[in-house]
Amino acid sequence: MILERFNVLRTAKVAPAKLLDEVLAVSAHGVPTQAVIAQLGSSSLLGKVMASGLDSLQVLPDSTEDDLRAVLESSGRQAVHAMEKHLPTLATIASIAPLLGLLGTVIGMIEIFGAQPSSGASGTNPAQLAHGISVALYNTAFGLMVAIPSLVFWRYFRQRVDTLQLVLEASADRLLRHLLSLRAR
């Protein structure tokens, strides 16, 4: 899941650096053809957002600013949703893993103390008891070994999505102004 998110949230896949400038240049004298818009839509998430605006203006040349803004916002929400895929699962793993480790420890401790002879009997082996406790504590350690990286990467990806969302919003605003200028022609 972590490797998949690293791959999906690369800048080249979400918002390539020169894409907005290229789209503005290609559409400087009018809305590009449907083939160009389709190619743009398949290039990246930002490409999909921009393609939705261009497509909307091509289909309805009289689109109002509110109409174009609504199309871009809707497409932007879909792009953010795609970027956030698997993040709730990663957060859940980070939250539950230490609890599952603790549960394993508690169950192990119950079994260790339940296996000891009753108070009247002799034969308690301290080495065996210590070994049982150490095995039970491994559960907590393994839970933390899963939780800590999960939490770190969840926070990293959450910040990455927020940053990329700002890039998408700024690009969509700039494209909206450009689309409005095309519509006025």
pLDDT band for 107, please (50, 70, 90 cuts): confident
Cα-Cα-Cα-Cα dihedral sign, residues 99, 100, 101, 103 = positive
- pLDDT above 70 for 121: no
pLDDT for 125 equals 72
Q: Pull the structure tokens for residue 44.
A: 């990246």
Q: How many residues does this entry show for the chain?
A: 185
Name the percent of the chain lying above pLDDT 90. Answer: 75
Question: What's the one-letter identity of residue 8?
Answer: V
Question: How large is the average pLDDT for residues 6-35?
Answer: 94
- pLDDT above 80 for 120: no
CA–CA separation, 4 and 76 (whole Å): 21
Give the CA distances from residue 49 to residues 28, 68, 84, 152, in Å, rounded to whole numbers and listed in that order: 18, 11, 16, 30
pLDDT for 103 equals 92
Cα-Cα-Cα-Cα dihedral sign, residues 27, 29, 32, 36 = negative
pLDDT for 174 equals 96
Around Cβ 9, how many Cβ atoms within 10 Å? 21
Residue 50's Cβ-count burial label (10 Å; 0-12, 13-18, 19+) is buried
3-state class (DSSP) for residue 79: helix
- pLDDT above 70 for 59: yes
pLDDT for 124 equals 66
Q: Pull the structure tokens for residue 61.
A: 């040349």
Question: What's the one-letter identity of residue 27?
Answer: S
> Structure pTM?
0.84
Under a CB-based contact definition with an 8 Å cutoff, are residues 79 and 45 in contact?
yes
